[in-house]
């Protein structure tokens, strides 16, 4: 039996690891699974785990108010080294590019425990964008023995870099975010979860065929400060000029985001600011939306699978596959470009007879099964 420890703390880590945890736990004779919470977004993670019926085994609360990246990193390495040293798993699974995932890979390396990296090989090739994630994921790639690349392009990116582990394997799996999305949306379409915002949007859309719903998210560190202010200013202008569009922005709790957004958008009548949505509620909103304005990585992957238009408020993306579908556009935060992009997406949506066709550049919903299979293959 293989003992697999999975470490997670942020919302996207929980969403993307959930299908893998379920797949591992579905084979109790082959796997012992330990889920370790880093405690980073404890309140955002709990409902996701509840939605997927997952119980965590260990919670190491790493978070302290206003802690620097340096102090988070050092605490994370020390604590994860202690926990993994006690657990002695065969594999540690980390996801993506958070600072805790990077620290966990380092702790596992010190303990000579093999690391499997879910969603490996994403690159912008710019060291400062996204910051510090580009370095975090490159660092994890240096240590991992098993790289689960979501797409062929991410596998190519890994092959281009010298891998210090000679027996490391790269497996193209698709992204488990699509496993979670398809599982979640299918369940929610038959058994919706109650949400007053969703009811309000559904009523607004039912009132007039030309009414459109724009879903906004934004929390990236590189957009803090002036870029976020420019995005907010543009959204306020768009909303004032188009009363047949309703904007909803679930605002990330980070004070760098919340203070600016509340101050700049708090009094615009057709912009609804709301607390971050639990994952199932967010999926219901995605399903209702016509246009999405976001700097989120996960949302760029999910939205095309539901046939939604996504305008990305970043200068770079490590997810170029979505751009090729025509549904995802990189628009940055400069007001003129963002304004024109949202306007033309709304015009196109009102003109179109039917919603755009879904596209699946990030996976077919069976990524977790491929990960499990590769864990059982001869260990590197
Ligand atoms: N999400 C959510 N509630 C929200 C906004 C996003 O559950 O209010 C989900 C979304 O479905 C996606 C994930 O969170 O799967 C994206 O996480 P986030 O934007 O925090 O991080 P990123 O993907 O940029 O790393």
Query: What pLDDT tens digit does each residue of the chain (380 aa) get?
Result: 999 999 999 999 999 999 999 999 999 999 999 999 999 888 889 999 999 999 999 999 998 888 999 999 999 999 999 999 999 999 999 999 999 999 999 999 999 999 999 999 999 999 998 899 999 999 999 999 999 999 999 999 999 987 777 789 999 999 999 999 999 999 999 999 999 999 999 999 999 999 999 999 998 888 999 999 999 999 999 999 999 999 999 998 889 899 999 999 999 999 999 999 999 999 999 999 999 999 999 999 999 999 999 999 999 998 999 999 999 999 999 999 999 999 999 999 999 989 999 999 999 999 999 999 999 996 65
Q: How far is the CA of 221 from the centre of ligand 1 (A)?
A: 14
Q: How far is the CA of 72 from the centre of ligand 1 (A)?
A: 21
Q: How far is the CA of 12 from the centre of ligand 1 (A)?
A: 6
130 prior amide bond cis, ω within 30: yes
Q: How far is the CA of 163 from the centre of ligand 1 (A)?
A: 30
Task: Check pocket membership of 297 for ligand 1, CB cut-off 6 A.
Answer: yes
Structure token digits, residue 130: 């996204």
Which protein residue's CA is at the shortest distance from atom 18 of ligand 1? 296
Which protein residue's CA is at the shortest distance from atom 17 of ligand 1? 12
Looking at ligand 1, which atom is closest to the CA of residue 294? 19
Give the max Cα distance, the chain: 61
Exposed, middle or buried by CB within 10 Å (0-12, 13-18, 19+), for 154? Answer: buried
Q: Which of 97, 179, 302, 321 is catalytic?
A: 97
User: What 3-state DSSP class applies to 343?
Assistant: helix
pLDDT of residue 182: 94
CB-based contact 6:34 (threshold 8 Å)? yes
Looking at ligand 1, which atom is closest to the CA of residue 220? 24
Cα 303 from Cα 309, distance rounded (Å)? 7
- The beta strand positions in the chain, using DSSP E, are 2-8, 31-37, 58-59, 91-95, 114-118, 146-149, 169-172, 212-216, 245-250, 271-274, 291-294, 309-312, 328-330
Q: Is 147 a catalytic residue?
A: no
Please, what sign has the CA dihedral across residues 375, 378, 379, 380?
A: negative
Cα 139 from Cα 134, distance rounded (Å)? 9
Closest residue by Cα to residue 301 from 180, 136, 186 = 180
Looking at ligand 1, which atom is closest to the CA of residue 15? 15
Neighbours of 177 (CB within 10 A): 26
Which protein residue's CA is at the shortest distance from atom 15 of ligand 1? 298
**Read out DSSP for 158-193?**
HHHSPPSSTT-EEEE---HHHHHHHHHHHHHHHSPP
Contacts 24+ apart (CB under 8 A), 186-190: 188/280, 188/283, 188/284, 188/287, 189/287
């Amino acid at each position: 039996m293989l003992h697999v420890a999975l470490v997670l703390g942020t919302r996207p880590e929980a969403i993307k690891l959930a299908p893998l945890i379920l797949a591992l736990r579905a084979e109790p004779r082959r796997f012992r699974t330990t889920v370790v919470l880093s405690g980073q977004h404890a309140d955002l993670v709990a409902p996701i785990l509840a939605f997927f019926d997952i119980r965590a085994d260990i919670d190491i609360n790493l978070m302290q108010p206003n802690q620097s990246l340096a102090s988070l990193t050092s605490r994370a390495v020390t604590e994860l080294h202690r926990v993994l040293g006690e657990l002695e798993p065969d594999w540690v699974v980390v996801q993506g590019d958070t600072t805790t995932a990077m620290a966990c890979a380092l702790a596992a390396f010190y303990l000579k425990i093999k690391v499997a990296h879910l969603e490996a090989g994403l690159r912008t090739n710019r060291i400062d964008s996204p910051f510090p994630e580009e370095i975090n994921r490159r660092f994890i790639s240096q240590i991992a023995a098993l790289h689960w690349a979501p797409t062929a392009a991410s596998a190519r990116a890994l092959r281009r870099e010298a891998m210090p582990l000679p027996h490391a394997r790269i497996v193209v799996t698709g992204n488990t975010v699509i496993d979670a999305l398809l599982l979640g949306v299918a369940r929610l379409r038959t058994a919706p979860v109650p949400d007053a915002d969703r009811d309000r949007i559904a009523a607004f859309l039912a009132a007039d065929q030309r009414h459109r719903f724009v879903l906004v998210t934004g929390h990236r560190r590189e957009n803090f400060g002036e870029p976020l202010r420019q995005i907010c200013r543009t959204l306020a202008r768009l909303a004032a000029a188009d009363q047949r569009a309703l904007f909803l922005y679930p605002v990330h709790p980070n004070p760098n985001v919340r203070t600016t957004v509340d101050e700049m958008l708090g009094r615009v009548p057709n912009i609804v600011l709301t607390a971050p949505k639990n994952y199932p509620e967010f999926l219901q909103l995605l399903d209702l939306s016509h246009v999405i304005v976001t700097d989120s990585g996960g949302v760029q992957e999910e939205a095309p699978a539901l046939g939604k238009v996504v305008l990305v408020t970043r200068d770079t993306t490590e997810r170029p596959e979505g751009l090729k579908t025509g549904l995802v556009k990189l628009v940055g935060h400069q007001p003129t470009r963002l304004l024109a992009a949202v306007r033309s997406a709304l015009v196109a949506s009102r003109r179109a007879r039917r919603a755009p066709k879904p596209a699946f550049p990030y996976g077919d919903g069976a990524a977790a099964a491929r990960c499990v299979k590769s864990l059982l293959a001869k260990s590197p």
